Amino acid sequence: MSEKKKITLNRRFVVSRLVRDRGDTLFVTGLGSTTWDAAAAGDHRNNFYLWGGMGGAAATGLGLARAQPGRRVVVLTGDGEMLMGIGTLATIAVVAPANLAVCVIDNQRYGETGMQETHTGHGVDLAAMAAGAGFALTQTIWTTKDLEAAIPHIYETEGPVFVDIKVNTDHVPMVLPMRDGTAIRGRFREAVLGERAYD
């Protein structure tokens, strides 16, 4: 049994730090806190915000990564959302897209429904599950130092890459991005495809 480590990272700090190096990376964010985190870090045309379809963030990222093999795709989602679509780790590993990274912002809680505990606070190790599925690189991140070391992997290392970033439960202000699904997909497709978005 491993000792219980102290979780110190703040989710908004983590996501702000992550997107600072985004370049032309395409982001898919999951229901719901990671969608608010991405908005708080600065709205971007290359962000696709999921406000629903819990469990679907990683699979959406996979479909996008296959359609855009020349672009880096990062899925940013929560531990509860990832657990609901946990089989997708196996699906991604079998396809093995080199341009895909999955980052779980893991506060060990279902944040949108009253902060009930998820499985990850009870010993379930998402990075180990991703490794078991066959991801090229997996890591659990506890500190700023770990995070700094992982960022180049998230954006550059041949994937699929999986990182589970442990974050604390400090209260953060609610920041909401656009929420009309049709508008979100229209803007995102135009950012990725240009004029072809409206074919």
Partner 1 sequence: MATTKKKTANKWPVQIFKTLKDADVAQVAFVPDAGHAELIKACLADNHIKTTRLTTEEEGVALALGAWLGGERSALLMQSSGVGNCINMLSIMQETRSPLLMLVTMRGEWGEFNPWQIPMGQGTAKALEDAGTIVYHVDDAGGLAETIYAASQIAFNAYRPVAVLIGQQVIGFKDWRK
- Rule CB under 8 A: which residues touch partner 1? 28, 48, 50-68, 85, 87-88, 90-91, 94-95, 181-182, 184-185, 188-189, 192-193, 196-197
CB of 64 to partner 1, least distance (A): 4
Our CB check for partner 1 shows the closer of 147 and 192 to be 192
Residue that the structure tokens 């439960």 belong to: 169
Helices (H), ranges, the chain:
11-20, 33-40, 57-67, 79-84, 87-95, 126-133, 144-156, 181-193
Our CB check for partner 1 shows the closer of 67 and 128 to be 67
Which residues are within 8 A (CB) of 112 and not within 5 positions of it... i.e. 6 or more apart? 31, 32, 33
CB of 65 to partner 1, least distance (A): 7
CB of 155 to partner 1, least distance (A): 18
Our CB check for partner 1 shows the closer of 20 and 185 to be 185
Residue that the structure tokens 């359609």 belong to: 67
Among candidates 18, 8, 96, which has minimal Cα distance to 27? 18
Our CB check for partner 1 shows the closer of 52 and 123 to be 52
Which residues are within 8 A (CB) of 16 and not within 5 positions of it... i.e. 6 or more apart? 40, 41
- Gap between the Cα atoms of 21 and 26, Å rounded: 12
Our CB check for partner 1 shows the closer of 1 and 94 to be 94
- Gap between the Cα atoms of 13 and 103, Å rounded: 14
Name the residue type at position 61: G
CB of 58 to partner 1, least distance (A): 8
Our CB check for partner 1 shows the closer of 13 and 49 to be 49
Bond preceding residue 160 cis, omega within 30 of 0: yes
CB of 51 to partner 1, least distance (A): 8
CB of 129 to partner 1, least distance (A): 13
